[in-house]
């Protein structure tokens, strides 16, 4: 693909360290794009044998690791008149294809992660990927980040064994046609997302699938200091991701005491992190470190240090003041969305708040995050 960055937010150990039934949208996208990708390949039904398929997959997987580095992609793998199309761009030669890659690299510093590569047709190879792109500070002073996930469907010529057609799809839209209104709106929506993420340590994650209204993420394990009335209770009376105001204030002060050295054994003032998590009457501050044992011990018996194991979660963002009513509404929306996409929630929802109380509500980044059990790529 030559479209657009994911990965994790700042990679540090603690921070950034069925099968799901296909939706109608997924099925329609695969059918349409597969047809477009194979229109220039041979109609012979035989296709690649196992050895040939393995060779092509290995060559393309290695080649795409160089998509945005100094080495670049290998021209010998592509026909001179290779056609490329995604919802934003379209080229009919290798020179145009390569130009687009270099333009993205120099202007937007994209990052690319391939999740899988497989043979999807007699003379067709498909990859699934995540890309994240940072826009330049000028004129985008709010520093938006664009995230796309999707597939690259590559048609292979039977005789030359070269890629003759490359079609990209995005998971966040249904109409994959070049310059479709839906595709343009998706890009503009991400560009003009003014929510701010503080430049602080934060749990690392990769966006595995970005839908129009939510993301599926794989979180790495991370460390937290936790407190609250729900800390050691298996079932709590509150089902809200948002804590009661007075209880939340007490929990925040207890955790702040640990972070600022007033309630930890070494008196160490620790680095600020983001976000603050709340769920099941428990509040968590993310803590930077390699292991729980390496952290200063808490001198407050109500503050517990532990490792969150990470895993697969769905997340839906919203701005404004994260009131209990707002959090409940977003949680309800997210549960409906994932139900429609065949995903099964496997735990309680958490509210993640990234900004301090002095941040303009319009610029705040809040999220509802729910673990899921049956996601597959």
Residue 313 three-state SS: strand
Contacts of 229 (CB under 8 A, 6+ apart): 236, 247, 281, 282
Instruction: In whole angstroms, give the CA distance from residue 71 to residue 97.
Output: 15
Closest to 80 (Cα-Cα) out of 93, 63, 92: 93
pLDDT of residue 70: 92
pLDDT of residue 8: 40
Positions of the chain with pLDDT under 70: 1-45, 232-240
pLDDT of residue 51: 96
Closest to 196 (Cα-Cα) out of 135, 143, 148: 143
Residue with tokens 């007699």: 122
pLDDT of residue 247: 86
How long, in residues, is the chain? 377
Mean pLDDT of the chain, nearest integer: 89
Token pair of 205 as six digits:
């994650």
Furthest-apart CA pair in the chain: how many Å?
A: 73
Strands (E) in the chain, as ranges, are: 78-85, 90-91, 111-121, 124-134, 145-156, 163-170, 205-210, 215-219, 222-227, 276-279, 282-287, 304-308, 311-318, 350-353, 366-371
pLDDT of residue 239: 58
Kindly report, residue by residue over 283-329, the tens digit of the pLDDT: 999 999 999 999 999 999 999 999 999 999 999 999 999 999 999 99
**∠ Cα 308 314 315 (to 5°):** 95
Instruction: In whole angstroms, give the CA distance from residue 111 to residue 8.
Output: 10
Closest to 286 (Cα-Cα) out of 7, 72, 19, 12: 12
pLDDT of residue 170: 98
| The model's pTM | 0.88
Token pair of 170 as six digits:
């995005």
CA dist 58 → 80, 83, 156 (Å): 21, 21, 14
């Amino acid at each position: 693909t030559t479209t657009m960055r994911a990965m994790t937010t700042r990679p540090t150990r603690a921070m950034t360290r069925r099968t799901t039934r296909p939706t109608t949208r997924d099925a329609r996208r695969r059918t349409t794009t597969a047809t477009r990708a194979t229109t220039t390949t041979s109609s012979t039904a035989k296709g690649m044998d196992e050895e040939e398929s393995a060779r092509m997959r290995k060559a393309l997987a290695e080649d795409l690791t160089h998509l945005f580095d100094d080495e670049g992609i290998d021209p010998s793998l592509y026909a001179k008149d290779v056609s490329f199309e995604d919802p934003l761009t379209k080229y009919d030669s290798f020179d145009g294809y390569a130009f687009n890659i270099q333009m993205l690299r120099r202007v937007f510093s994209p990052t690319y992660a391939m999740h899988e590569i497989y043979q999807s047709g007699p003379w067709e190879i498909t990859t699934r990927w995540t890309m994240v792109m940072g826009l330049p500070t000028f004129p985008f002073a709010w520093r938006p980040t664009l995230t796309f996930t999707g597939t690259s469907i590559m048609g292979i010529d039977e005789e030359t064994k070269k890629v003759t057609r490359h079609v990209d799809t995005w998971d966040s839209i249904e109409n994959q046609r070049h310059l479709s209104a839906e595709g343009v709106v998706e890009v503009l929506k991400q560009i003009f997302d003014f929510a701010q993420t503080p430049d602080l340590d934060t749990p690392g994650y990769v966006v595995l699938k970005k839908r129009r209204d939510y993301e599926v993420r794989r979180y790495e394990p991370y460390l937290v200091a936790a407190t609250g009335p729900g800390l050691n209770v298996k079932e709590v009376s509150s089902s809200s991701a948002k804590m009661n105001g007075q209880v939340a204030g007490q929990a925040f002060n207890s955790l702040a005491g640990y972070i600022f050295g007033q309630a930890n054994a070494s008196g160490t003032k620790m680095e600020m992190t983001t976000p603050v998590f709340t769920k099941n009457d428990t509040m968590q501050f993310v803590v930077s470190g390699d292991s729980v044992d390496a952290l200063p011990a808490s001198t407050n018996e109500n503050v517990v240090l532990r490792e969150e194991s990470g895993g697969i979660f769905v997340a839906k963002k919203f701005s404004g003041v994260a009131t209990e009513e707002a959090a409940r509404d977003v949680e309800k929306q997210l549960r409906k969305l994932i139900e429609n996409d065949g995903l099964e929630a496997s735990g309680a929802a958490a509210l993640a708040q990234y900004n301090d109380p002095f941040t303009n509500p319009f610029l705040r980044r809040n999220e509802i995050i729910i673990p899921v059990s049956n996601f597959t790529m």
